[in-house]
Each structure stands twice: as structure tokens, then as C-alpha cells.
């Protein structure tokens, strides 16, 4: 079974913003008939979100299908998705 990565906003501006903001919400993975929306985030942004939510709400709830990457670039995203696919990760995603 193969997969396909779709970037809903596949523009240079979106790539630039994702790298600088540390996250990307527009990544969709097609695996067979399954459509999996991914949340791609770097560790720095994840920590910032965690700290902010803990201060404001006293708890933190992670986004579904979160993948933490060293930097939010298409090259890194595609490499990590390939690796996770080989490991069977996406058979467990919702």
C-alpha cells in the first residue's frame, strides 16, 4: 500500500510561515482509502504551546496525529512520514 502527502496550502509563503511558526496544520496523508490529517510541530513550538496552556488552563491536550519534527520543512516532513509509514504508525491514526 502506498501513500500520498498533500499540502493544502502548497505555496512558498506557507512553507516560510511553517518554518518560522514551528507548526503546520495543512498536511493530509492519503493511505489507501484512509485520509489522515496531520499536525506537524517542532519541539520548541510544542513546548511553548504546552507552557501557555498549562498557565492558562492547567492542562494540555495534544492535537490528534501530532508528529514532532526538528524543523517544519517539507524535506523533514516527508522524511519523517516515510519513516513512520515504514514502521506502521499510520495504521493506528484516526
pLDDT at position 5: 97
CB-based burial, 23-50: b 16+ in 10 Å, e otherwise: bbeebebeeeeeebbbbbbbeeebeebe
All cell numbers assigned to 63: 492535537
Per-residue pLDDT of the chain (94 residues; tens, 9 = 90+): 689 999 999 999 999 999 999 999 999 999 988 999 999 999 999 999 999 999 999 999 999 999 999 999 999 999 999 999 999 988 877 5
Whether residue 2 contacts residue 29, with contact meaning beta carbons closer than 8 Å, is answered with no
Distance CA 28, CA 36 (A): 6
Residue ranges of domains in the chain: 3-91
**pTM of the entire predicted model:** 0.91
pLDDT at position 21: 97
* DSSP annotation of 61: -
Amino acid at each position: 500500500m502506498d501513500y500520498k502527502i498533500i499540502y493544502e496550502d502548497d505555496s512558498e509563503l506557507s512553507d516560510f510561515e511553517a518554518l518560522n511558526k514551528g507548526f503546520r496544520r495543512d498536511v493530509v496523508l492519503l493511505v489507501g482509502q484512509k485520509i489522515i490529517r496531520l499536525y506537524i510541530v517542532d519541539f520548541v513550538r510544542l513546548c511553548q504551546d504546552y507552557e501557555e496552556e498549562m498557565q492558562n488552563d492547567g492542562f494540555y491536550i495534544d492535537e490528534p496525529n501530532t508528529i514532532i519534527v526538528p524543523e517544519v520543512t517539507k524535506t523533514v516532513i516527508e522524511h519523517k512520514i516515510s519513516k513512520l509509514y515504514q514502521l506502521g504508525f499510520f495504521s493506528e491514526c484516526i
